[in-house]
Amino acid sequence: MRRDFSQDDDLAAVETDRLAALKARFLEVAKDNKVFPIGAGNWLRLHPEDRIKTPYKRWSFDSDTTRMPEFTAPGLGRESSIVTVDAEFGENANGVLYALGGASGGLTVYMDDGHLVYEYNMMIIENYQARGPDRILHGKHRIEIDTTLQSPKPLSAADVLLKVDGKEVARTTVARTVPAAFSASETFDVGTDLGSPVSHAYAERRPFKFDGKIDVVKVDMK
């Protein structure tokens, strides 16, 4: 280090035995720490079944559920699911019902001046939305978001159906879904969108807390 403090000199051709020993040691440590396959980020895009994931298929959340790490949360946006929200709405309700991910990619279901909105942020590259045409009236209502992937293959398209009290109000098709995860650090939140906002539509109002009362958010994976 005193002779070459920046480690600019390439010693590979000179210290061949030491280089071989370092390579062997790297393989040992990498195996012990489950580093393989190297380049797993690319691997998971082709083999999302190998991602870290929760074993659960059904969840029941309330408004206290916030900052749940994505890899322990329901696989919304990448798997077929039905999300049911029982909540009480005020006049011209505003705020996030639930959100997963962040500004770099995620999905969110929120109220905008009384209108139900679904938004899928596909890694900033693409954006898909569905918006209910009519305002949800004051009182208790059941919101249902039904997502069906068209294929089990990575990047499959998904059909998304929005219902209010059992009646269809909007639908959209997400042309490409995220294969493994939206991010490594964002989370699942109920009644708010903590961290970076999934949607630019409410970025200036973040965390855009729901101004009504959420009784329960139920998630069922198909």
Q: 199-218 pLDDT, tens per residue?
A: 999 999 999 999 999 999 99
pLDDT surpassing 90 at residue 141: yes
- DSSP bridge partners of 108: 99, 119
**Lateral strand order in the sheet of 68-69:** 68-69, 187-190, 95-102, 105-112, 115-122, 126-131
Rg, Å, the chain Cα set:
22
Highest mean pLDDT pick, 28-32, 47-51, 69-73, 199-203:
199-203
Question: What does pLDDT average to over the chain?
Answer: 94
Token duo for residue 148: 């069906």
Peptide bond into 37 cis (omega under 30): yes
Question: 97 by DSSP, 3-state: which?
Answer: strand
**Which pTM does this prediction carry?**
0.81
pLDDT surpassing 90 at residue 100: yes
Can you give the pLDDT at residue 184?
Answer: 85
pLDDT level of residue 222 (50, 70, 90 thresholds): very high
pLDDT surpassing 90 at residue 110: yes
